[in-house]
């Protein structure tokens, strides 16, 4: 069965009530390709605002979730609270969480397992730094991140079915630099091969692997043509009208 194209918009720590209402209005009024699953991730403060005003066919994601059910964890947000607010996805393992806030592969894997067990879908991010890319370690780094995830999920196909993998080379996030189509496809193919060899054929064929890293309305069409690129996790461009063009890039 063909994998449904997936486009996520990560607004990061951007936006005001007014600007986010305008983004929602634009998405509500736009013609969006019905064959694309669309999810947007506003800052936590605006999750309920977005969910209240956004049309039901577009899902809403948090940018983080904690791996404890509740308690004295100031500043965190729980899986149960997200579910209670009709938030159906969360982004975990983004390079900014890993590099700026010290989240290790093990922490990301633990959060992912907890979110999946709690009924959320997870956009799970992986990727390498510029130094790792230049040292030829890209595939080793990504495999290590995947190994940590497997240590928590095992070969549970039900759990893996709720994971969307986002490959985001750290050196291409917000820099304007984009991996070439060939570079992106190479890593996507390697991720699918890893899934096939370490989890199973069905998971490898069904898991959607997104590219993220300065995706925009100009480069999305060429990237989307590659057989192992199943969509995008979009950063800066998700704040702009061109986000609609990215969603519709296969039309």
| 201 annotated active-site | no
In this predicted structure, the answer to whether residue 35 has a pLDDT above a threshold of 80 is yes
The whole-number pLDDT of residue 2 equals: 86
Confidence grade of residue 173 (pLDDT, cut at 50, 70, 90): confident
Asked whether residue 129 is domain-assigned, the answer is yes
Regarding pTM above 0.85, the answer is: yes
* The one catalytic residue among 96, 128, 168, 188: 168
Q: Helix 181-198 to helix 138-153 angle, to the nearest 10 degrees?
A: 40
Asked whether residue 22 is domain-assigned, the answer is no
Asked whether residue 105 is domain-assigned, the answer is yes
The whole-number pLDDT of residue 179 equals: 83
* The one catalytic residue among 37, 59, 94, 128: 94
Return the percentage of the chain with pLDDT > 70, whole number.
100
The alpha-carbon radius of gyration of the chain (Å, integer) is 17
Confidence grade of residue 129 (pLDDT, cut at 50, 70, 90): very high
Asked whether residue 123 is domain-assigned, the answer is yes
* Domain CATH for 146: 3.20.20.70
* Mean pLDDT calculated for residue range 224-239: 96
The whole-number pLDDT of residue 1 equals: 59
Asked whether residue 28 is domain-assigned, the answer is no
Give the domain extent around 231: 36-64+75-247
* Mean pLDDT calculated for residue range 167-192: 90
Q: Structural domain tally of the chain?
A: 1
* Mean pLDDT calculated for residue range 151-159: 98
In this predicted structure, the answer to whether residue 13 has a pLDDT above a threshold of 80 is yes
| 53 annotated active-site | no
Asked whether residue 178 is domain-assigned, the answer is yes
Asked whether residue 175 is domain-assigned, the answer is yes
* Mean pLDDT calculated for residue range 195-199: 98
In this predicted structure, the answer to whether residue 114 has a pLDDT above a threshold of 80 is yes
In this predicted structure, the answer to whether residue 167 has a pLDDT above a threshold of 90 is yes
SS (H, E, C) 68-86: CCCCCCCCCCCHHHHHHCC
* Mean pLDDT calculated for residue range 226-240: 97
* Mean pLDDT calculated for residue range 164-193: 91
Average pLDDT of the chain to the nearest whole number: 96
Burial 122-161 (b: 16+ CB within 10 A, else e): bbbbbbbbeebbeeeebbebbbebbebbbebbeeeeebbe
Confidence grade of residue 195 (pLDDT, cut at 50, 70, 90): very high
* Mean pLDDT calculated for residue range 3-29: 98
């Amino acid at each position: 069965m063909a994998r449904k194209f997936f486009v996520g918009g990560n607004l990061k720590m951007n936006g005001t009530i007014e600007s986010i209402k305008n983004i929602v209005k634009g998405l509500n009024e736009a013609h969006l390709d019905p064959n694309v699953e669309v999810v947007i991730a506003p800052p936590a403060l605006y999750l309920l605002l977005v969910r209240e005003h956004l049309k039901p066919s577009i899902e809403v994601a948090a940018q983080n979730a904690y791996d404890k059910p509740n308690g004295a964890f100031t500043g965190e947000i729980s899986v149960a609270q997200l579910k209670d607010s009709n938030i159906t996805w969360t982004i975990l393992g983004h390079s900014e969480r890993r590099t700026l806030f010290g989240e290790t592969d093990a922490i990301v894997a633990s959060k992912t397992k907890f979110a999946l067990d709690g009924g959320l879908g997870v956009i799970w991010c992986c990727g390498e730094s510029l130094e790792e890319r230049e040292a030829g370690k890209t595939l080793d780094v990504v495999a290590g991140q995947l190994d940590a995830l497997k240590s928590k999920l095992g070969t549970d196909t039900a759990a893996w079915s709720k994971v969307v993998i986002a490959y985001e080379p750290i050196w291409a996030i917000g820099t304007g630099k984009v991996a070439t189509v060939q570079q992106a496809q190479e890593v996507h193919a390697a991720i699918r091969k890893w899934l096939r060899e370490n989890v199973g054929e069905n998971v490898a064929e069904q898991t959607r692997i997104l590219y993220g890293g300065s995706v925009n309305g100009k480069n999305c069409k060429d990237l989307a043509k590659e057989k192992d690129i199943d969509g995008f996790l979009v950063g800066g461009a998700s704040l702009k009208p061109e986000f609609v063009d990215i969603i519709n890039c296969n039309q």
